[in-house]
Structure 1
Amino acid sequence: MTIKNEILDRVDSGITGYNDLLNGGYFKKTVNVVSGESGTGKTVFGSQFLYHGAQNNKKSLCIMTSESAESLKKEMYSSFKWDLWEMEEAGKITFVDIANPELRLQKTIDMAPMELIMSFKKLLVRKIEEVKPDRIFIDAIEAMLLAIDSPYKLKTLVDDLFGVLRKYDVTSIVTVGTTFNVESVVEYGADSVTRLGRVVSGNNLQRSIYIAKLRGSSTLNEIRVLNISNNGISILDQSPYASTV
């Protein structure tokens, strides 16, 4: 594959209607941030990206920084019948649970923030080289960054972590919540930024999605409805602001 073809190569997200917003999908070997408030669908979004890849024989690495991996598996099976246990047993998805005592990487008040981030970086490198994934999903990256009190240190650490991801032949989704005001720094360092939200339309509350940033390509500059059904997420070809009357 030539360098030009590698640059233009895209990755199918597995989310109906989303590739259209990106004009073809994610670029390979990029870090893609999905941001939004709690309950807007970030974790489902990343899980669907991994599950779609696993269904197409792409190896995936899922790193949970807050919620346990077991809780995620139960939630995805209960909601969508996505059998992540089966994918794990088949070696298609590897889960890393930061809260697992065996990793000795618990987020405790006794561990200095910089020490935590450096340990996380080493763990990330080790797991990527061990698993050799095609796709990576890091859920709730803000859980690793909240104790960093210097904006300069925060940006440096985010750039460093994203640099690790770009070093390898992987395409990544990193989710970040908007409650603790670290999302702007995380978004700044990303190759693409997708923002999820909620919109009041009449008496209805709609989930929304739009592309805030995509390096190297134009995007569809529209806010669309993000729908979550029994089959997962799909992006509807309509505005969340459309009248329902």
Structure 2
Amino acid sequence: MKVNSGIPGLDELIGGGFEEGSVNLVSGKTGTGKSIFCAQFLHNGAVNNNEKGLYLTTGETINNIKKQSKNFEWDFEALEKKGVIKLMEIEPFDIETLIERITENIEAAKAKRVVIDSVSMFELYMHEPFKIRKSLYKVLQRLRDMGKTVLVVAEVLEDSKSLSRFGVIEFMVDSVILLQYLGIAKYKRSLLIRKMRMTDHSTDIHPFEITPKGITIRSV
């Protein structure tokens, strides 16, 4: 079963939407639109599909997320009051406690869509690749076991060839969507689907715009 993204122009590139119960990486450098992409996914689920969502943030404050959402006429504050979207700040210190908190909040919110923004904080606190891999695996596996459709944000460092800070999580997820800022030509931003399991997806680079209504993918 497919879960529509709410991003105009994207679903036709990924076989109709994300696989239900999949874990999907949204990767890119600072300022490429990763958080907007994820907020749009949650907003679409809540408003157009009657699907509850949970936004877990490790870096940005909840107030800032709500302020940003209003730039696109997405009133997360009102949606939170209605109980269809829940925003929660988390700290990635104790992995077992973190998994327990995530599980409890997903169950309490009855969320079908989950965003983790971002896993880069896990990588900063856990410097050893083995520990990062083990901890992320536990978190992602719990989310898979719960059958939730998840978007995970990863920050790409300048001049890095990896798809995350330490090049670990991209091997654990079901799909990888890379957002880039080119700064040239008519459309300055682009999207590339680097990986998507069980789906016949586009392999082209697609321009996109950030409009007053959110992200829109343009034709090549």
Q: In the alignment, is residue 29 of structure 1 matched against residue 21 of structure 2? A: yes
Write out aligned runs for 1:139-178 (5 A): 139-178=117-156
Aligned equivalents of 1:173 and 1:82: distance in 2? 18
Superimposed CA distance per residue, residues 175-222 of structure 1 (whole angstroms, 9 cap, x where no aligned partner): 1101295352111100110000122435x6711101000011121110
Deviation at 1:131, TM superposition (A): 1.6
Superimposed CA distance per residue, residues 86-135 of structure 1 (whole angstroms, 9 cap, x where no aligned partner): 1101100011122xxxxxx4x7xxxxx5x2x3322121111122222110
Which residue is equivalent to 1:102?
none
Structure index of larger Rg: 1
Which residue is equivalent to 1:92?
84
Q: In the alignment, is residue 212 of structure 1 matched against residue 194 of structure 2? A: yes
Aligned equivalents of 1:65 and 1:200: distance in 2? 28
Paired residues of 1:198 and 1:205 also in contact (CA < 8 A): no
Where 2:125 maps in the other structure, the secondary structure is: coil
Structure 1 unaligned segments of length 5 or more: list them: 1-8, 99-104, 108-112, 239-245
Which residue is equivalent to 1:51?
43
Q: In the alignment, is residue 76 of structure 1 matched against residue 69 of structure 2? A: yes
Deviation at 1:76, TM superposition (A): 1.2
Where 1:234 maps in the other structure, the secondary structure is: strand
Which residue is equivalent to 1:242?
none
Measured on the aligned residues, the alpha-carbon RMSD in Å equals 1.6
Which residue is equivalent to 1:243?
none
Structure 2 unaligned segments of length 5 or more: list them: 159-163
How many residues align structurally? 214
Q: In the alignment, is residue 189 of structure 1 matched against residue 176 of structure 2? A: no
The one-letter amino acid paired with 2:217 is I
- In the superposition, the TM-score normalised over structure 1's length comes to 0.83
Superimposed CA distance per residue, residues 57-107 of structure 1 (whole angstroms, 9 cap, x where no aligned partner): 111111111001111101110x21111111101100011122xxxxxx4x7
Aligned equivalents of 1:230 and 1:165: distance in 2? 32
Where 2:116 maps in the other structure, the secondary structure is: strand
Deviation at 1:144, TM superposition (A): 2.4
Pick the aligned partner of 1:60 from 29, 53, 57. 53
